[in-house]
């Protein structure tokens, strides 16, 4: 049997992302068949209850906004019978949005039942002290400047404490979507951060960044397409709007990184900020000069981009992470018809 601790971020994503919702039933089935037990830190239970209303509201708002945009686009199309039929259909879907919200609430209710039935673990004084030591010495999950990782630290220390008290042949797993704080920096994110690696191993205590990978390790039959169909689920490809939204975020990330490189070059006087006349006289060499008005606009745009994306997406990232971001952008653009390595921003 596996003793599995699932981080708050995973539970909330399961409820919010309809493509992951089938995994809730899979986890429930694994618990029922006594293949896993759920280890629930009291902090996770508290965080889940504090955030569930926000997740439910965001699910409804996101869908409502999407339908309103589609309806507006149809209204602006030329008049005709088909236009009226489409508007009628969309209006019907709009009225069904609360049903979608009810489905999200249903998933949240199901998760909360599982959390309450799991092995609820209070944070011991020893775990609190170890978490405080991590904060003092800036060890993961406190490695990022200005980030309060105390809750995350107490969760992981509670996990480590439970593993240490486990009996022979018992196996444990920790699952999180918080790769930024828990995963290896500048390398394979499926591996734990070096500050946490001592608490994990290949057999007794395993680290996962997707619930599906954890389930696959327990028993991959539960992810078999036939089994999922038996539960009444079918996996669908992502919509075009989702793909375009992801591409837009990646494009802004790449642009922001290039802007920061340019800012460094300006600060080091490798690139000179000049007037329009000086730019012309320099022969329009944009590798060593930039027009002051353009530079001012770029700085304002960078501030807006940072506010829109947030620190986690803006970095700083290492070369490995930027390689992943550029690779994702190139792949999405290729799928949408661009040539490979088309990374214009």
**Shared domain check, 148 and 166:** yes
Per-residue pLDDT, 15: 85
Its domain, for residue 262, covers 240-335
In the listed set 230, 254, 280, which residue is the last one of a domain according to the structure? 230
Considering the domain boundaries, does residue 343 fall inside one?
no
**Shared domain check, 149 and 22:** yes
Q: Is the pLDDT of residue 166 over 70?
A: yes
Spatial separation of the C-alpha atoms in residues 114 and 5, rounded to whole Å: 12
**Shared domain check, 206 and 256:** no
Spatial separation of the C-alpha atoms in residues 105 and 9, rounded to whole Å: 17
Per-residue pLDDT, 220: 76
Contacts of 159 (CB under 8 A, 6+ apart): 5, 39, 41, 172, 174, 199
The helix (run of H) or strand (run of E) holding residue 2 is: strand 2-6
In the listed set 172, 202, 230, which residue is the last one of a domain according to the structure? 230
Considering the domain boundaries, does residue 141 fall inside one?
yes
**Shared domain check, 289 and 144:** no
Considering the domain boundaries, does residue 235 fall inside one?
no
Map residue 154 onto helix, strand or coil.
helix
Considering the domain boundaries, does residue 94 fall inside one?
yes
Per-residue pLDDT, 81: 46
**Shared domain check, 260 and 215:** no
**Shared domain check, 38 and 14:** yes
**Shared domain check, 255 and 224:** no
**Shared domain check, 284 and 312:** yes
Per-residue pLDDT, 101: 53
Q: Is the pLDDT of residue 146 over 80?
A: no
Q: Quote the number of domains for the chain.
A: 2
Q: What is the CATH number of the domain that holds 205?
A: 3.40.50.1010
Contacts of 161 (CB under 8 A, 6+ apart): 124, 126, 127
Per-residue pLDDT, 256: 93
Considering the domain boundaries, does residue 148 fall inside one?
yes
Per-residue pLDDT band at 315 (split at 50, 70, 90): confident
Considering the domain boundaries, does residue 111 fall inside one?
yes
Considering the domain boundaries, does residue 135 fall inside one?
yes
The helix (run of H) or strand (run of E) holding residue 207 is: strand 205-208
In the listed set 211, 230, 249, which residue is the last one of a domain according to the structure? 230
Q: What is the mean pLDDT of the chain?
A: 83
**Shared domain check, 17 and 163:** yes
**Shared domain check, 127 and 77:** yes
**Shared domain check, 253 and 146:** no
């Amino acid at each position: 049997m596996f003793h599995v601790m699932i981080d708050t971020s995973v539970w909330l994503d399961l409820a919010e992302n309809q493509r992951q919702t089938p995994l809730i039933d899979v986890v429930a089935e694994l618990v029922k068949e006594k293949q896993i037990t759920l280890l629930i830190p009291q902090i996770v239970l508290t965080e889940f209850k504090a955030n569930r209303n926000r997740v439910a509201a965001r699910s409804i708002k996101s869908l409502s906004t999407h339908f309103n945009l589609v309806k507006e686009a149809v209204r602006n199309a030329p008049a005709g019978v088909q236009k009226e039929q489409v508007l009628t259909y969309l209006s019907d879907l709009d009225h069904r949005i609360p049903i979608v919200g009810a489905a999200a609430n249903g998933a949240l209710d199901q998760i909360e039942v599982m959390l309450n039935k799991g092995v609820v673990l209070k944070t011991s004084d020893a775990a609190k002290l170890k978490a405080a030591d991590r904060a003092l010495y800036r060890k993961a999950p406190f490695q990022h400047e200005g980030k309060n990782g105390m809750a995350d630290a107490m969760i992981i220390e509670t996990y480590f404490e439970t593993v240490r008290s486990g009996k022979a042949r018992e196996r444990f797993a920790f699952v999180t979507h918080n790769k930024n704080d828990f995963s290896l920096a500048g390398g394979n994110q499926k591996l734990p951060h070096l500050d946490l690696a001592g608490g994990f191993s290949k057999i007794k205590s395993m680290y996962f960044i997707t619930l599906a990978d954890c389930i696959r390790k327990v028993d991959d039959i539960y992810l078999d397409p036939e089994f999922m169909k038996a539960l009444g689920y079918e996996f669908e490809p992502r919509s075009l709007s989702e793909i375009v939204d992801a591409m837009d975020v990646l494009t802004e990330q790449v642009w922001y990184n290039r802007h920061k490189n340019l800012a460094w070059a300006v600060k080091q006087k490798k690139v000179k900020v000049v007037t329009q006349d000086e730019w012309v006289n320099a022969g329009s060499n944009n590798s060593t000069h930039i027009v002051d008005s353009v530079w001012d606009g770029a700085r304002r745009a960078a501030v807006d981009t940072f506010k829109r994306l947030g620190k986690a997406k803006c970095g700083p990232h290492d070369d490995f992470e930027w390689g992943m971001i550029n690779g994702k952008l190139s792949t999405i653009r290729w799928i949408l018809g661009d040539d490979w390595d088309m990374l214009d921003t």
